Amino acid sequence: MRLTTWLQLVLGRPFRRAGHRTALVAAGLPLHLAVVPLWLWLLGTMAALVRAPGVVAVTPLPVLLTLVVTPLLTVGQRRRYRALVGKDLPRPAVPGPGRNWKSAVRQLTTRALWRQVCYHAVAGPLLAVLDLAVLAVWAVALVAASIYVWIWALPPQWRVTDLGYTTQAAYITAGGLALLFLGPRLTGALVRLDTRAAEVLLGPSRTEKLARRVADLAESRAGVLDAADAERRRIERDLHDGVQQRLVSLAVNLGLARSTLGDLPEDARKVIDEAHREAKEAITELNNLVRGLHPAVLEDRGLDAALSGVAARLPIPVRVAVDLPQRPSPTVEAVAYFVVSEALTNVVKHARATRADVTVERIGETLLVVVADDGAGGADLAAADGGTGLAGLAKRVASVDGTFSCRSPAGGPTVITVELPCAP
């Protein structure tokens, strides 16, 4: 059993995919030769041009025909790979069809079209030579390996009169078997070469691949940000509607017990008072936590109301000016809110300011956020441990492809400017 398995691996592996690959090579031969007559025509007209300048008007015709048949040949190549080896060649980015001469010129001048022309007009004939060589190897191998079949098809008189054929046929058969084992390797190498050329010249360029990759990464990152923002809103709702309500109910019950149960011992009353106080403190801390996750007012009433609420809770006067004809996306809106909230918290903690100004406005497709204060200044974005949290704000802004800048000279004032993209 092991010997049989070994023989199958040794003898069967080279031929496992040889049929599909050989079919791919055979199907590619006419496609690779399709442009050769046009090039021969072009060479003939150019030679005629040397002898008779009057045919100059005919000279561009082979080139124009080559440009016309190139997209058709590309479609044929894609179908060849898809039907025979199940491979889809990536498509390059091409401009959309138009009806005026400018769009036609734009399509004729694209790099993708001329890379396809290079494949069909330059690489194609070279690959056709290799296709013919590989198919010839298969044909010779099959004929040589089956030489005894051809010999027995000859008249018996020839075999009787020429008995030396057996030795020659043995050598020919051995050579045919060697070519049979060489054929799959040559075919595989040619298919890999053809596939590589097709991917490079018929598919997108390296720049287009990088652009597509960047676009895919940007889309996936936007999806992750949206999912994270949705998860924050869900946690906020669960805390607000679940835990917070139960804590409020507990505080109310403790307050009722303290006011209605007058005959309690003093120790029991102290325990109830302490529990009531801790319940109210827990509610306050939970409110701050929920507001830090995703304030409900931001989702219900937008940035103006949410930022006004933040400003009202600060110990210094804050002027808030919000001018938004329409609300940005929830993710951008959340980033703007948290940037302003954290910046104002830093103003109170570190700036020693007496007032602050917040301006939010939309300029074109950009949401401009400016937070200024009259504090001591000296905020350093590059400081490793300045306690200002500016690096975290910059990262939050960069997560949506925004820009963050902080101008804070010693002695103040400090101005934080944030630009967030809010294209529809």
Contact 176, 140 (CB under 8 A): yes
Q: Has residue 210 been placed in a domain?
A: no
Q: Are residues 283 and 308 in the same domain?
A: no
Looking at the structure, tell me whether residues 383 and 278 fall in a common domain: no
Rg of the chain, C-alpha, whole Å: 39
220 within domain boundaries: no
What's the pLDDT tens digit per position in 75-104?
Answer: 888 888 888 877 887 777 655 554 555 555
Highest mean pLDDT (candidates 176-180, 186-190, 291-295, 310-314): 186-190
By residue range, what is the domain housing residue 406? 299-421
181 has a pLDDT exceeding 80 = yes
Q: Are 126 and 195 found together in one domain? A: yes
Please tell me the pTM assigned to this model.
0.53
Tell whether 263 and 309 lie within a shared domain: no
Name the H helices within 263-329. 266-293, 296-301, 303-312
Do 47 and 85 lie in one domain? The reply is yes
Cα–Cα distance, 39 to 347 (Å, whole number): 74
The CATH number assigned to the domain holding 333 equals 3.30.565.10
Both structure tokens of 240? 């607000």
Q: Which two tokens stand for residue 120?
A: 């069909």
272 inside domain: yes
Neighbours of 21 (CB within 10 A): 23
Band of the pLDDT at 327, cuts 50, 70, 90?
confident
User: Kind and range of the H or E element at 96?
Assistant: none
Nearest Cα to Cα of residue 324 among 360, 281, 275, 376: 360
Type and span of the H or E element at 318: strand 318-323
pLDDT per residue as tens digits for the range 141-154:
888 888 777 666 65
DSSP 8-state secondary structure symbol assigned to residue 55: G
- Percent share of the chain, pLDDT over 70: 72
Same domain, 180 and 318: no
> Residue 157 has which token pair?
């008189």
Task: Tally the domains of the chain.
Answer: 3
In a domain, 216, yes or no: no
50 and 194 together in one domain: yes
Distance between CA atoms of 226 and 229, rounded to whole angstroms?
5
